Structure 1
Amino acid sequence: MSTTQATQRSKEPAKQGDLFISFELSDKSWKLTAGDGGTSVSRHTVAAGDQAGVADAIVRAGKRLRTSSRARVHSCYEAGRDGWWLHRWLGELGVDNIVVDAASIEVNRRARRAKTDRLDGDKLLTMLVRHHRGEHVWSVVREPTPRQEDERREHREFERLTHERTSHTNRIGALLVLHNLRPNVRIGGRDWSNWWSAHCEALGQKLRAEIERELARLELVKQQVRQIEATRRAEVHDGRQPTVARLMQLVGVGERGACVLAHEIFGWRHFSNRRELAGCLGVAPTPYASGDSHIEQGISKAG
């Protein structure tokens, strides 16, 4: 399937007396809201990343809610900056954890809603119980393996670096326009040095220094881009990226696009049909049908 699975369930369904825990994660502290599937709730706060504190909170929550020592523990948290390490660690503890796509969580839009960590934790707990009772309340994110997760780093860094390179170039051009200087060569390119030497004296000392610093950062970014490109080519040439090499044999697919397809689409995701693939890529339709009106609003681009 795509990034999320709308109907993913645990191999063993939740039973009466199981312990349910929702995690509300933040930079400094984590809010754990535990329940037994009924009205009883136990709340705990631990320091962010405190594994011993989380394990102790789970034990204390079970004792307070009087669940059996053999009861299964089900938990959830929203996908975010903590990534997958918490999910894998909870699995090692024997906790049945799921990572939820935050954009799929239902929100009441009838009025301005109150939002606190406590309210969010309570809502996640309620939806976790409903999820294990068989309701479709959210989408569960599919977990990549540690190796698959690591493989995605390179092309994502490459994309950030290319955006940063464009940002530096645009900034330098904007600073030059302040003095009606419009380079007829590519900024930072092969002929840039001669153009800059001929025109830099017309600028003020502070502005010239600022542009020099921007040029230094631009050169560093370009150097890092070249390093990633060289590493990528070496891996393809040595046969360490067979999927990328096969995709590059297709007409219109270059090295950069092949890496993205190999590691984001074909690397660890699984699709059952064309609709799931289209949904992942954001080319799903957005029809509008109400009464006699039937309009296709175009591609959603929500992949």
Structure 2
Amino acid sequence: MGLKKRLVREYERFEMVNRQIDEIKRERADLIKTSESSDVEMVRQLLELRGIGPNSAWLYVMEFFGWREFRNRREVGALAGLTPTPHQSGDDAWERGISKAGNRYIRSMAIQIAWAWLRWQPESKLSRWYQERFGNGSPRLRRIGIVALARKLLIDLWRYLQDGVIPEGAELKA
């Protein structure tokens, strides 16, 4: 089989997969518009915030918020694997990096949403906290800070879904 035939076959396969992805996105968008389930209602609620898109809202609800009731903010951070890991040696005690014990997709999405939050919600309390604390730091320090922001934002989004408390200073979509 020649190279040209293989390339044509791979291109056709690529186009087919793209059509399937587009169809799934359309089905999900229709479901978000029409469904009355509590999970989809939470997706719609997250979509009201600037900086949160359909992919992240869907993942947060279907993989994290929709199937579990959290009692407190510690449970939220721990399930996402965004809590610090304590370490002790003798009389010394310090915190290492994050535990990474939770859902890696949620953790990854939380960090992506945290970067988007800084862009789309620059006047929010969380964005101001990040800028004051990490804004002028080195790239390494900013990456450490974005993980802290991701945890704080995840907790604020949980409060928003549970109690309707909009994160302080956050803007809703027009």
Q: TM-score, normalised by structure 2?
A: 0.52
Q: How far is the alpha carbon of 1:239 from its aligned partner?
A: 4.2
Q: How far is the alpha carbon of 1:208 from its aligned partner?
A: 2.0
- Unaligned segments of structure 2, at least 5 residues: 103-174
Alpha-carbon distance between aligned partners in 1 of 2:94 and 2:2, rounded to the nearest angstrom? 57
Q: CA RMSD in A?
A: 1.7
Give the aligned partner of residue 230 of structure 1. Answer: 26
Say whether 1:278 aligns with 2:74.
no
Q: How far is the alpha carbon of 1:255 from its aligned partner?
A: 0.4
Alpha-carbon distance between aligned partners in 1 of 2:7 and 2:94, rounded to the nearest angstrom? 51
Give the aligned partner of residue 68 of structure 2. Answer: 269
Within the candidate set 228, 242, 251, 2:50 is matched to: 251
2:66 partner SS: coil
Equivalent pairs: percent with the same residue? 39
1:77-124: CA deviation from partner (whole Å, max 9, x where unpaired): xxxxxxxxxxxxxxxxxxxxxxxxxxxxxxxxxxxxxxxxxxxxxxxx
Alpha-carbon distance between aligned partners in 2 of 1:223 and 1:233, rounded to the nearest angstrom? 15
1:50-84: CA deviation from partner (whole Å, max 9, x where unpaired): xxxxxxxxxxxxxxxxxxxxxxxxxxxxxxxxxxx
1:140-194: CA deviation from partner (whole Å, max 9, x where unpaired): xxxxxxxxxxxxxxxxxxxxxxxxxxxxxxxxxxxxxxxxxxxxxxxxxxxxxxx
AA of the residue aligned to 2:25: E
AA of the residue aligned to 2:84: P
Equivalent residue runs for 1:183-262 within 5 Å: 206-240=2-36, 241-262=40-61
- Unaligned segments of structure 1, at least 5 residues: 1-204
Q: Which has the larger radius of gyration?
A: 1
Alpha-carbon distance between aligned partners in 2 of 1:301 and 1:212, rounded to the nearest angstrom? 42
| Higher RCO (C-alpha under 8 Å, 6+ residues apart) | 2
2:2 partner SS: helix
Give the aligned partner of residue 295 of structure 1. Answer: 94
AA of the residue aligned to 1:237: K
Alignment size in residue pairs: 99
Q: TM-score, normalised by structure 1?
A: 0.31
The 1:207/1:293 distance shift into structure 2, 3 A limit, reads farther
Q: How far is the alpha carbon of 1:265 from its aligned partner?
A: 1.7
Alpha-carbon distance between aligned partners in 2 of 1:297 and 1:278, rounded to the nearest angstrom? 16
Alpha-carbon distance between aligned partners in 1 of 2:2 and 2:99, rounded to the nearest angstrom? 47
Alpha-carbon distance between aligned partners in 1 of 2:45 and 2:70, rounded to the nearest angstrom? 20
